[in-house]
Structure 1
């Protein structure tokens, strides 16, 4: 973020917010397919993800070839959103923003973001089990919140050309038609395979792109299908870097914010400190912006893979992020050298921030849905029990001694422990501990919680998690 009162010229760039009536309609697939389609044609595509999400960005990064950041009016803040989009517009040919949940879901929804920034909205609607009702749903979306710019409607998971014709005919405004995306299959996959299955899921969301050897092939398959729709066939221009009139209609003026909007200032609280970060399939829930924030405060970052058998690098502090330790419990437990090194790290009083899955890995054991238990590292007293229902979901804020961190929670497990928590997170706008939130534990030099933090919301508190002394 630049200094408070600085603002630059307006930058104009084609941009679209891709949303849907609900989760599960295929908006991630369509966003990634559109990014891949234009990236293959030599354009620079910058993709952003609305709301808290660690998994969709992996697909968008692979599709676009560029870093993906989260944008959210509450968690990251409007000034941060405007700054990131302004910076992207200076070099991008196209900006895509994937929405979160349904278009109007949430206190600060994807629609609110689109309205504040003037982003045209593209609605992806799963039309697999409807015909004329598609038009009614599209009409309702278009007119529910006055003031939105609309790019159009894309019917997803369409069976036949006749089905597509029925959907198109049902629209009150035919100009809103962006085409019909078929049920896409990968190679010799079952004919019943749908577009959503092209990007497979597990209990916390999509399987990350880097976990699949054929991830790029999956994206190319989706991009090829999208290329046959009116959306995919919108002409760009014969002139390099110049969008056609059809894309000019979706251009947005991105201005650098005139102020940081009260965003916290960064100081070199972590200068000279080396932070080791677990990063692999078991510990992959890392916001790129969190790494940027740590480095901006002076930290040197080094990464290691517990699953690959890596030992603990020489470090002043340790971060075990969230991820899927429950899926790799046997491999983690087998890395006894790392377990002993982490135990020694804690005995020396060195800081350790364990976030969600990172906290789970430090516990004594994990029990799966079938009742089978697997030992873990045993650094913290407690047993993890996986469950089929959500244990926590939604935006959260965590009040720490040096400030208030914003973030979220999302997990399918519970922690049975005798550890005493020092505080709990709470929902946005609620008084601290006014309602039940995620426990924040302090055990020696370990700080741990199911809470996922957005470091830039309070850099001082983030630095405190890693052992910095913050003077009031």
Structure 2
């Protein structure tokens, strides 16, 4: 169904749910992936989005749904960007799922705020393993805490028995629909490490896990979501194709996997050709590259292979010496240092382009939304890491944390090299990104 609007583009209608929870660790990622696979097995075209900054959960959702999983964030990308992504998806698929971030009401741009702003009904996943009738109280509190929020229903997760499931479902007040109860079982638990779940590409039994999780969800027989109206936003003017005819090489493997699909979209919209290569396989920077992007990931888990990647190292050094742009984020930054030490204190030599040493910490070093006021323009993004980096090279600036008292991140520049722990979200300022990757842009002060 479509409806003409003042934007000149029709509104679209598509069944949709935002899957959230009272807190992290309740099982919303697994439930979202299981629902996506369950409805995909029924022949539906499913698209999954992730609220807030995240790289690991979207990998699981992409495998579960068979389509890329993109971010929805009111601060990083803005409301119009979120509306555009949902509106586009509503014209292409049969069902939309959005996984929330942290607890439903957590943060200034919370999942609840996104759901209310964009008209998304909420499905709350509540870990019922240590409660009975309080389950209903929590569900009611989630619904009433923010006036206007549409809580379509709840899923009781990790119930101990059929009797326990009946007890928690019967505690729900009128007006809150039960989407089912899921038992405690291996199929609904996923391995994790310090930044979240283990990457999907590292799970050899990923398909088995997704199928088993979908089987569990299917037995709960969740009702199919109702259609949601997605209002057509005014079509944004396309940015100038400043990178037309340019090739951007992007490192992509298990050590450099933290890459937003939307970032690749922006580079392509700017006219760039994309060439992927694997440092873990000691592949050289593609010969045709005009700019290089080293995203984040888990370099600390692959010290020996990165130390041995001499062909990758030598071509990155030569690339920098030629004066072409390099953008390195978080794990990409750590790989460019003189050395990197893991949690056990084992050090490996890295690529020695950016002077300094990196090492991993057992506790989280920084987390939050940040903006970077770069010479090319202000770009928004986020930081989330257990790594530290010390360099004799003075930073050219620091990021601005979105929340009060947030810890800023250093930004280093060395010729056309830009390096920081900040993961940039390219849709926040495509023009600045074009300048950052354009070989014709002179280095700051040059």
TM category (shorter chain) comes to: over 0.9
Q: Is the Cα–Cα contact under 8 Å of residues 269 and 469 in structure 1 kept in the other structure?
A: no
Aligned equivalent of 2:286: 313
Q: Is the Cα–Cα contact under 8 Å of residues 151 and 176 in structure 2 kept in the other structure?
A: no
RMSD value, Cα: 1.8
> Which of 361, 364, 371 is the aligned partner of 1:390?
364
Q: What secondary structure, in the 3-state scheme, does the structure 1 residue paired with 2:201 have?
A: helix
1:213 aligned onto 2:200: no
Aligned equivalent of 1:139: 140
CA distance in 2, matches of 1:179, 1:80: 33
Aligned equivalent of 2:119: 118
Number of positions where the alignment pairs a residue of Structure 1 with one of Structure 2 = 436
1:253 aligned onto 2:229: yes
Deviations 1:127-162 (A, max 9, x none): 111112111111111111110112111110111111
Q: Is the Cα–Cα contact under 8 Å of residues 360 and 384 in structure 1 kept in the other structure?
A: yes
Q: Is the Cα–Cα contact under 8 Å of residues 395 and 413 in structure 2 kept in the other structure?
A: yes
- 1:92: Cα distance to partner? 1.3
- 1:467: Cα distance to partner? 3.5
Spell out the pairing of 1:365-444 with structure 2 (5 A cutoff): 365-428=339-402, 436-444=407-415
CA distance in 2, matches of 1:387, 1:330: 19
Q: Is the Cα–Cα contact under 8 Å of residues 325 and 439 in structure 2 kept in the other structure?
A: no
- 1:174: Cα distance to partner? 7.0
CA distance in 1, matches of 2:203, 2:66: 17
Spell out the pairing of 1:164-175 with structure 2 (5 A cutoff): 164-173=165-174, 175=176
Aligned equivalent of 2:243: 270
Q: What secondary structure, in the 3-state scheme, does the structure 1 residue paired with 2:348 have?
A: strand
CA distance in 2, matches of 1:265, 1:47: 25
Is the alpha carbon distance of 1:445 and 1:174 closer, same or farther for their aligned partners in structure 2, counting shifts above 3 Å?
Answer: closer
Aligned equivalent of 1:296: 269
1:83 aligned onto 2:50: no
Q: Is the Cα–Cα contact under 8 Å of residues 366 and 407 in structure 2 kept in the other structure?
A: no
Q: Tell me the TM-score normalised to structure 1 length.
A: 0.89
Q: Is the Cα–Cα contact under 8 Å of residues 351 and 465 in structure 1 kept in the other structure?
A: yes
Q: Is the Cα–Cα contact under 8 Å of residues 424 and 436 in structure 1 kept in the other structure?
A: no
Structure 1: which 5+ residue stretches go unaligned? 187-194, 237-246
Q: Is the Cα–Cα contact under 8 Å of residues 402 and 470 in structure 1 kept in the other structure?
A: no
Aligned equivalent of 1:157: 158
Q: What secondary structure, in the 3-state scheme, does the structure 1 residue paired with 2:388 have?
A: strand
Deviations 1:177-213 (A, max 9, x none): 2221111224xxxxxxxx2x3x211111111212211
CA distance in 1, matches of 2:325, 2:396: 16
Deviations 1:14-52 (A, max 9, x none): 100000001111101010000000111111011111101
Following superposition, which runs of at least 4 residues in structure 1 exceed 2 angstroms of deviation?
172-176, 467-471
CA distance in 1, matches of 2:441, 2:282: 35
Q: What secondary structure, in the 3-state scheme, does the structure 2 residue paired with 1:228 have?
A: helix
Aligned equivalent of 1:240: none
Is the alpha carbon distance of 1:470 and 1:384 closer, same or farther for their aligned partners in structure 2, counting shifts above 3 Å?
Answer: closer
Aligned equivalent of 2:3: none
Q: Tell me the TM-score normalised to structure 2 length.
A: 0.94
Aligned equivalent of 1:337: 311
> Which of 427, 430, 442 is the aligned partner of 1:459?
430
Q: Is the Cα–Cα contact under 8 Å of residues 385 and 416 in structure 1 kept in the other structure?
A: no
> Which of 181, 185, 191 is the aligned partner of 1:200?
191
Deviations 1:199-249 (A, max 9, x none): 211111111212211101101111100111141xx3x6xxxxxxxxxx4xx
- 1:7: Cα distance to partner? 3.2
CA distance in 1, matches of 2:349, 2:199: 25
CA distance in 2, matches of 1:467, 1:441: 18
Is the alpha carbon distance of 1:125 and 1:287 closer, same or farther for their aligned partners in structure 2, counting shifts above 3 Å?
Answer: same
Q: What secondary structure, in the 3-state scheme, does the structure 1 residue paired with 2:80 have?
A: helix
CA distance in 2, matches of 1:41, 1:259: 33
Q: Is the Cα–Cα contact under 8 Å of residues 362 and 376 in structure 1 kept in the other structure?
A: yes
Residues 100-109 or 172-181, more deviating: 172-181
> Which of 199, 208, 214 is the aligned partner of 1:223?
214
Q: What secondary structure, in the 3-state scheme, does the structure 2 residue paired with 1:409 have?
A: strand
Residues 361-370 or 450-459, more deviating: 361-370
CA distance in 2, matches of 1:310, 1:226: 42
CA distance in 2, matches of 1:359, 1:452: 11
Q: What secondary structure, in the 3-state scheme, does the structure 2 residue paired with 1:308 have?
A: coil
Aligned equivalent of 1:96: 97
Aligned equivalent of 1:9: 10
- 1:435: Cα distance to partner? 6.5
Q: What secondary structure, in the 3-state scheme, does the structure 2 residue paired with 1:307 have?
A: coil
1:105 aligned onto 2:106: yes
- 1:410: Cα distance to partner? 0.4
